[in-house]
Amino acid sequence: MSFRHFTGRRHKVRRAVMEGFDPILTIAVAILLVIGTLLVYAATRSWYGSLGLDPQYYLKRHIFNILIGGALAFGTTLIDYRLLRAYTPIVWGVGVIGLIAVLIPGIGREINGARGWISLPGGFQVQPAELAKISIIIGLSMLLSERLHDGDQPSSKDVLQGLAIAALPIALILVQPDMGTVMIISASVVTIIAVSGAPSRWVVGLLVIALLGGFTAVKVGAINDYQLKRLQSFVDPTADPQSSGYQLRQSRITVGSGGLIGKGLFNGPQTNGRFVPEQQTDFIFTVAGEELGFLGSGAILLLFLIILIRAFRIARRSQDSFGRLVCTGVIAWFAFQAFENIGMTMGLMPMTGVPLPFMSYGGSSMFANLIGIGLLQNVHARQRG
Amino acid sequence: MNQRSRLSLIVVQVFILSLMFALLGRLFYLQVGAGPKYRDAALSIQSRDIVNPATRGMIVDSSGVPLALNRVGLAVTVDRSVIDAQSDKGGAVLSRTAKLLGLSYSDVFRRTRLCGELAKGNQLGCWTGTRYQPIPITKDADPSRALAIVERADLFPGIDAMPVAVRNYPGIGGVNAAHELGYVGPLTESDLSGVNGNKYYRSESIGKAGLEYQYDAYLRGKPGIRTVIVDRKEAVTRESKNTKSIPGDHVVTSLDVRLQASAESALADAVMRARSIGYRGDAGAAVVMDVKTGRILAMASYPTYDPNIWEKGLTVKQAKDMFSESTGVPALSRVLQGLYAPASTFKSVSLVAAANAGYDLRATYSCPAQVTVGDRDFQNFESKAQGRLTMKKAIAISCDTIWYQIAYDEWVRDGGLSPKKNAHDYFFSAARGFQIAQKTGIDLPSESSGRLADRQWRKDWYVQNKDYFCNYQARAKKNQLTPFLIALAKENCIDGDKIRGGDAVNFSIGQGDTVITPLKLTQMYAAIANGGKIWQPTIAQAIVKTNGTIIQKMKPNVIGNLPATSATLSFLREALREVVISGTAAGVFSGFPVAVSGKTGTAEVFGLNLNGTKKDNTSWFASFAPSDKPRYAVVMMVSQGGFGASTSAVGVRKIYQTLFGVVGSKVDPTKALFPKGPPTTLPRISATTKVNK
C-alpha cells in the first residue's frame, strides 16, 4: 500500500501525505508557532521602536523563518522515511561538514562567546549545531535498527558504532563551545539507545555517565566563561549593585510578576522595559509568563505536553524500529530542550543558551524543530499501510 | 517491537511527561503562589518615584511672627543622566562649576554622588536622594554666578540653576532661639529603614532637633510623588502616577519674639558680666514661663549658634565646633540638658520639708557660723554668724546653718547611719513631691531628667563605685592620691551606700549629688507661685493648617501638686518676696517698680576646667512676679557665673523690664508686652507678620 504514494501523480501524492498527518500534532504546533510569533513581536516591538528602528523587524523575520521551516518540514514528509535511511550518510556528512566549517575563522562567527554561526547574505545566519541534531538522530537510529527484524536487538558492537557516529558531531559542538546543545543531544542519544532494546548494561552505563556528566556540567560548566561574560555585560554599573545572577533573577521576577492572568499581550512592563536580556531568543518564555500569566504560559506547557503525547503515540505505533527510534530521538530532543529552556527561565535549571522549540526567534533552530515535526508526520503518514 | 523496547519507551514517556508536569508545578508556584512577591519585585525594578517635597509649615510666635519659614534660594543642580553620559563622566563640567561657585572639586563631586556610589564609611556629604532628580550642589548660590551657568549652557551641560525652598530662621526682632527651633536636614539610612514607624522619601528633609523634630510629622506635609516607569537603561517610558504635594501645617508657639530676644540678650549680658568680673562664665540658660498654664514664653541657652548654618551646608569645622568642649558645646541646650546643683534655690524645697516635719515657720532659729556634723564642721555662707533669725529672714539672707541643723536633727531622728525601716525622710519626700528626678515633660526632644540623691540613689551609686573606692590606691590616678582623697575613699568604701549626716546636710541646701535643669527649677517656682500646681511646660500652642483650620490645640496639663499646704506655700511666697525686699536680691531690685519674689543660688561646683583651673560657682536666680498676683516665673542660670544675685538676678531684672514695660523706675503700661496677660487667641499666620511694637 505504501508504494501507492510513489506511483500516483504529484498532487495526489501531496494530498495523500497530508491526509496521513496527525492533525492534533499539526494544530498544536501551529498554535505554538502563532503564540511564539506574537511573543517575539511583544519582546522586540517597543525595544526596536525606541531605538528608532522598524518595530516589526523581528516579527517579519520570524514569520519568514516559520515559512521556510514549514516548507522544509513539508519537504521532509515527501520522501518515505524508510527510504530516507539511504540518505543517512549524506545527512550526517553534511551536518559534520557544517560543524567543521563553523570552527574555521572567517566562515564561522562568534556570538556571545560561542563560535556557532555561519553568516549568510541578507543578514541571515545558520547555526549548524541545530541541524546536526537531526543528523545525529537519524544516523544513530539507522545504525541501531539496521539488523532489526522484530525481536532482534542491537549488539554491543552496534551500540559502539552508534556512539561513534554521535561522538564526532558532539565533540565538534563541544569545541564551539555550546554546552546546552551538547547536553540535549546527549540526552537524545541515551534515550534512543535505551529504546532501541540495546543490552541493559549499556543503557544503565550510559544513564550513569549522562547523570554524572549532567551533574558536572551543572556544577562546573553551567556558567562557563562566555556565559560569565554575558552576565557581566548586563551588570549596569550605575544601577543598584547586581549579583551575577542578574539575568536569571530578572527572568524569574518577570515570569512571577505575571500572576494568574498576566499583564496582557504587549503590556508587560518588564518586557517593554527590556529588563530581561535576549528575551526574543533564549528567554522568550518570560514574555509569556509576564504578559499571558499562568493561564497563558500554562497553556503553552499543555501544548508541549500534547505534542509530546502525540509524538509518543506515533513512536509506539511505528511499524519498524527505525521509525520508532527517530521519533524517540525527536521526542527526547524537544522534551529536554523545552525543559531546559523553560526550567532555566523559572530558576529550576542552570543557564545554558538553548532556544525554546517553536517559539524562540532564530532561523536554524526553527528549521530544525519543524524538520523534526516533519519527521514525526512522515512516520505517522506511513503507519496506515 | 520487542518487550524491552516497549518497556523502555513507556519509562521514557513517563519520565518526560513528569518533567513537563514539574514545569507546570513550578510555573504555578512562581505565578500564583509567589506571584505577589514577584509583582512587588518587578514594580521596584520598573518604577522610580520622583519626590517633590512639600512646603514645610512655618513655626510662629504667639502673635504670628515667623520664627521658621521657607525662603527661596538659588540652587545649582546637577543632572546625573546628562553628565554621566559625557566622555569624562562630567569631570570637566563639575570642576568648571566648582571653580565658578568657589567650591572645591572634591566637595562638588561628593555632593553629586549617591551614597551607595561612595565607599562605606566615607559617605559624608553624599546625596541621599535619587539620580532622577536634580542634585543640588548648593542651595544658596550667588545670583550672578548662577546666571553665568544658565547663560553659558554650552559650557555647563547638565548643570542648571533653579529656585528652591530653603528652610530659613529669619531672626526677626533679633531672635536666635536655635535650641528651641532646631533644624532640618536630610534623612539618614536609619530614618529610611522605618525604625521609628514612619515612611519617608529619600529627598525629603526632616526635623533633626527642637520643634522641627518634635512636630515634624505636622510640619513636613506630604510630598508629591511622580512615579515613572523606566526601562533597563533607566529611560523613562511613561508616567504612572502623579500626586500633588500637601503643604505642612504651621506650629504656633507660645514664645514671644520680643521677650525671647530680651531673654537671649539678658542672658548673654549676664554671661559677659560674669566674665568681666573674673568668672569663667562658660554657659547659661534663661526661661520665662506663664505660671497659670505652664506655657513657655521665652527660652534661651548660651552659647548658641546660627540655626541657618545647617541649610547653608555645614563645613567640617562648623560641625566640630558645634560639639566641642573648647567652644562650650553650642549644640547643647542648657535649659533642657544642663544639669546643675540648685544650691540655695533649693531652700524652698527644704522649707516645705521643714513645715511638713512640724517645724514652726513663725519661730526663730539660730544661724551660727558653723554646725558640726560628725567630725566635720559645716560653714555658713561666708562663715558669718547671724544670731537668731525668723524663718523668713533666714530665707531672705540665705542662712545655711539653720538648714544644717534641721537636716541633721531629722537625719538623726530617722536613725542616722542605721536608718529606721519607715524613716520620715521629710527632705527626700519633699524633693520627690517637687518631681526633682522627673523630666518636666516639655514638648521638646532630648530633655534630661534631674537627679535626686536619696537613699535609693545612694545605694545604686555605691554598687557601681564600690570597687573603685575600696581599691582606691590601685585605681586612682597619681595626682588624686592626696591624704584627703584617700581618707574620703576609705570612708566611701566603708559606708558609701548610706546617707551620712554630711549628705543630709548638703542636701538641704541644694548641694551634693542632687542636680536639676534650669527648666525644672522654672517649673518648681511656677508651682510655688500658682499655689502648688506643677504644670507640664509646653512650647507649642496649636497646629494650624495652611488654610487656617486648627488641627490641634495643646491643652496645658497639671502633672502634680506640691507636697505643701496652702499656708506653707503662702509663707514661702512671703519669704521669697522678702529676699527681694531685704535679702540677697534687694540690691539688684532696689527701685524696681514691679513686686518680684525670688531666690538667689550660688552653687559650689567640684571638678576642674579643661585648663586645670577650679570651676567657678553656678549662679542662679529663680523668681516669679508680680508678687501679689503671680503670672510669670523667670529663671536664669549662669554656669561658672559667680554669685546668684550679681550675675543672674540682674539678668532676670532685665527680662522683667521688657515684660512689664519698665522705664527707669516706672512701669509704662503702653510698653508692657502683655497688658492683659499672654495672648489666649491664636494669631493669623502669615510669612510677613511683623513684630508688634
- Minimal Cβ distance to B30: which of A256, A315, A331: A256
Closest chain A CA to residue B240: A269
Average pLDDT over residues A57-80: 93
Judge whether B607 is closer than 8 Å to chain A, CB to CB.
Answer: no
Q: What is the C-alpha R_g of chain B?
A: 33
Distance CA A63, CA A71 (A): 12
Q: How far is B533 from chain A (nearest CA, A)?
A: 58
* CB-CB under 8 Å, A252 with B20: no
Please tell me the predicted confidence (pLDDT) of residue A233. Answer: 35
* CB-CB under 8 Å, A50 with B20: no
| Highest mean pLDDT of the ranges B308-312, B369-373, B647-651 | B647-651
pLDDT tier, B505 (very low <50, low <70, confident <90, very high otherwise): very high
Judge whether B232 is closer than 8 Å to chain A, CB to CB.
Answer: yes
Residue B617's alpha-carbon distances to B29, B283, B335, B601, in angstroms, are: 75, 12, 18, 9
- The bridge status of strand B184-186 relative to strand B224-230 is unpaired
Residue B122's nearest CA partner among B136, B102, B106 is B106
Closest chain A CA to residue B116: A240
Percentages helix, strand, coil for chain A (3-state, rounded to 5) are 70, 5, 25
Of A89 and B295, the structure prediction assigns the larger pLDDT to: B295
DSSP B35-69: HHHHHHHHHHHHEEEEEEPPPPPPEE-TTS-EEEE
- Minimal Cβ distance to B39: which of A257, A304, A335: A257
CA B566 to chain centre: 34
pLDDT at B435 over 90: yes
- Minimal Cβ distance to A255: which of B5, B31, B36: B31
pLDDT digits (tens, 9 = 90+) for B20-72: 999 999 999 999 998 888 888 888 877 777 777 889 999 999 999 999 999 88
Q: Which residues of B touch A239 (CB under 8 A)?
A: 234
pLDDT tier, B316 (very low <50, low <70, confident <90, very high otherwise): low
* CB-CB under 8 Å, A348 with B23: yes
pLDDT at B589 over 70: yes
* CB-CB under 8 Å, A253 with B41: yes
- Minimal Cβ distance to B231: which of A197, A253, A273: A273
Type of residue found at B282: D
On the question of a cis peptide bond just before residue B626, with omega within 30 degrees of 0, the verdict is yes
Give phi and psi for A182, each to the nearest 5: -60, -45
* CB-CB under 8 Å, A250 with B38: no
pLDDT tier, A210 (very low <50, low <70, confident <90, very high otherwise): confident
Q: How far is A1 from chain B (nearest CA, A)?
A: 21
Average pLDDT over residues B517-522: 98
Of B229 and A215, the structure prediction assigns the larger pLDDT to: B229
Which residue(s) pair with B136 in the sheet?
A: B77
Q: How far is B192 from chain A (nearest CA, A)?
A: 17
pLDDT at B566 over 90: yes
Distance CA A185, CA A136 (A): 8
Q: Which of A13-27, B18-32, B201-215, B563-577 has the lowest mean pLDDT?
A: A13-27
pLDDT at A357 over 60: yes
Of A320 and B288, the structure prediction assigns the larger pLDDT to: B288
Judge whether B234 is closer than 8 Å to chain A, CB to CB.
Answer: yes
Q: How far is A313 from chain B (nearest CA, A)?
A: 10
Distance CA B404, CA B410 (A): 10
Distance CA B451, CA B460 (A): 12
Distance CA B545, CA B548 (A): 5
Q: Which residues of B touch A297 (CB under 8 A)?
A: 27, 31
- The bridge status of strand B47-52 relative to strand A125-126 is unpaired
Distance CA A202, CA B477 (A): 87
Of B237 and B459, the structure prediction assigns the larger pLDDT to: B459
Q: Identify whether the C-beta of residue A138 lies closer than 8 Å to the C-beta of residue A91.
A: yes
Q: Identify whether the C-beta of residue B396 lies closer than 8 Å to the C-beta of residue B583.
A: yes
Average pLDDT over residues B445-450: 94
Of B490 and A309, the structure prediction assigns the larger pLDDT to: A309
Q: Which H or E run contains A295?
A: helix A293-317
Of A354 and B188, the structure prediction assigns the larger pLDDT to: A354
Interface of B with A in 540-579 (CB under 8 A): none
The SS3 of residue B188 is: coil
pLDDT at A222 over 80: no
**Most B CBs within 10 Å: which of A294, A308, A334, as the mutation test of the B interface?**
A294
- Minimal Cβ distance to A257: which of B32, B38, B234: B38
Distance CA B254, CA B177 (A): 13
Distance CA B121, CA A139 (A): 65
pLDDT tier, A245 (very low <50, low <70, confident <90, very high otherwise): low
Judge whether B118 is closer than 8 Å to chain A, CB to CB.
Answer: no
Please tell me the predicted confidence (pLDDT) of residue B623. Answer: 97
Please tell me the predicted confidence (pLDDT) of residue B659. Answer: 96
Q: Identify whether the C-beta of residue B668 lies closer than 8 Å to the C-beta of residue B52.
A: no
A166-172 own/partner pairs: CB under 8 Å, 24+ apart: A166/A136, A166/A139, A166/A140, A168/A96, A169/A92, A169/A95, A169/A96, A169/A99, A169/A132, A169/A135, A169/A136, A170/A136, A172/A96, A172/A99, A172/A100, A172/A103, A172/A132
Average pLDDT over residues A126-141: 90
Q: What is the C-alpha end-to-end distance of chain B, expressed in Å?
A: 113
Query: In this prediction, what percent of chain A has a pLDDT beyond 70?
Result: 84
Residue B19's alpha-carbon distances to A181, B572, B611, in angstroms, are: 18, 93, 82
CB pairs under 8 A between A and B: 155
Domain range for residue A345?
Answer: 4-381
Please tell me the predicted confidence (pLDDT) of residue B150. Answer: 83
Please tell me the predicted confidence (pLDDT) of residue B123. Answer: 62
Set out the domains of chain B in order of their start, with CATH numbers: 48-253 (3.90.1310.10), 343-533 (3.40.710.10)
- Minimal Cβ distance to B45: which of A46, A253, A335: A253
Q: How far is A193 from chain B (nearest CA, A)?
A: 10
Interface of B with A in 87-116 (CB under 8 A): 116
Distance CA B113, CA B90 (A): 12
Query: In this prediction, what percent of chain B has a pLDDT beyond 70?
Result: 96
Q: What is the C-alpha end-to-end distance of chain A, expressed in Å?
A: 5
Distance CA B66, CA B458 (A): 47
Distance CA B188, CA B175 (A): 29
Please tell me the predicted confidence (pLDDT) of residue B315. Answer: 60
Rounded to the nearest integer, the mean pLDDT of chain A is: 83
- Map B257-318 to HEC letters: HHHHHHHHHHHHHHHHHHHHCCCCCCEEEEEEEECCCCEEEEEEEECCCCCCHHHHCCCHHH
The pTM for the full model equals 0.69
Of A68 and B205, the structure prediction assigns the larger pLDDT to: A68
- Map B384-409 to HEC letters: CCCEEEEHHHHHHCCCCHHHHHHHHH
CA atoms within 13 A on the CB side of A357: 30
Closest chain A CA to residue B2: A151
Closest chain A CA to residue B1: A150
Q: How far is A100 from chain B (nearest CA, A)?
A: 32
Q: How far is B238 from chain A (nearest CA, A)?
A: 10
- The grid coordinates of residue A185 equal 543531544
- The grid coordinates of residue A321 equal 524500529
Which residue(s) pair with B47 in the sheet?
A: B229
Q: Tell me how crowded residue B251 is: count the other CB atoms within 10 A of its CB.
A: 28
- The grid coordinates of residue B623 equal 523668681
- Minimal Cβ distance to B229: which of A200, A273, A348: A273
* CB-CB under 8 Å, A255 with B8: no
Judge whether B7 is closer than 8 Å to chain A, CB to CB.
Answer: no
CA B248 to chain centre: 22
Distance CA A192, CA A209 (A): 15
The SS3 of residue B19 is: helix
Of B188 and B643, the structure prediction assigns the larger pLDDT to: B643
- The grid coordinates of residue B678 equal 499672654
Q: How far is A51 from chain B (nearest CA, A)?
A: 12
Closest chain A CA to residue B130: A239
Sign of CA dihedral A270, A274, A277, A282: positive
With 0-12 CB in 10 A as exposed, 13-18 as middle and 19+ as buried, what is A6? Answer: exposed
Q: How far is A65 from chain B (nearest CA, A)?
A: 27
pLDDT at A242 over 80: no
With 0-12 CB in 10 A as exposed, 13-18 as middle and 19+ as buried, what is A22? Answer: buried
Closest chain A CA to residue B26: A346
Q: Tell me how crowded residue B347 is: count the other CB atoms within 10 A of its CB.
A: 28
- The grid coordinates of residue B628 equal 501679689
Q: Which of A12-26, B85-99, B147-161, B500-514 has the lowest mean pLDDT?
A: A12-26
Distance CA A354, CA A184 (A): 9
For residues B389-412, one letter each, b for 16 or more C-beta atoms within 10 angstroms of the residue's C-beta and e for the rest, the string is: bebbbbbbbbbbbbbbbbbbebbe
With 0-12 CB in 10 A as exposed, 13-18 as middle and 19+ as buried, what is A65? Answer: buried
pLDDT tier, B438 (very low <50, low <70, confident <90, very high otherwise): very high
- The grid coordinates of residue B90 equal 562630567
Q: Which of A381-385, B27-31, B347-351, B355-359 has the lowest mean pLDDT?
A: A381-385
Average pLDDT over residues A308-316: 95
Judge whether B31 is closer than 8 Å to chain A, CB to CB.
Answer: yes
Judge whether B119 is closer than 8 Å to chain A, CB to CB.
Answer: no
On the question of a cis peptide bond just before residue B303, with omega within 30 degrees of 0, the verdict is yes
Q: How far is A351 from chain B (nearest CA, A)?
A: 16
- Minimal Cβ distance to B5: which of A195, A336, A346: A195
**Most A CBs within 10 Å: which of B80, B113, B232, B233, as the mutation test of the A interface?**
B232
Q: At what angle do helices A179-195 and A200-216 cross, to 10 degrees?
A: 160
Q: Identify whether the C-beta of residue B591 lies closer than 8 Å to the C-beta of residue B667.
A: no
pLDDT digits (tens, 9 = 90+) for B158-202: 898 888 888 999 999 999 999 999 998 777 666 777 776 777 876
Count of structural domains within chain A: 1
Please tell me the predicted confidence (pLDDT) of residue A177. Answer: 80
* CB-CB under 8 Å, B116 with A240: yes
Rounded to the nearest integer, the mean pLDDT of chain B is: 90
Non-local CB neighbours of B333 within 8 Å, separated by 6+ positions: B179, B180, B285, B301, B444, B446
Q: Which of A78-92, A169-183, B312-326, B678-692 has the lowest mean pLDDT?
A: B312-326
Q: Which H or E run contains B543?
A: strand B540-544
- Minimal Cβ distance to A260: which of B22, B35, B233: B35
| Highest mean pLDDT of the ranges B382-391, B542-551, B683-692 | B542-551
* CB-CB under 8 Å, A153 with B233: no
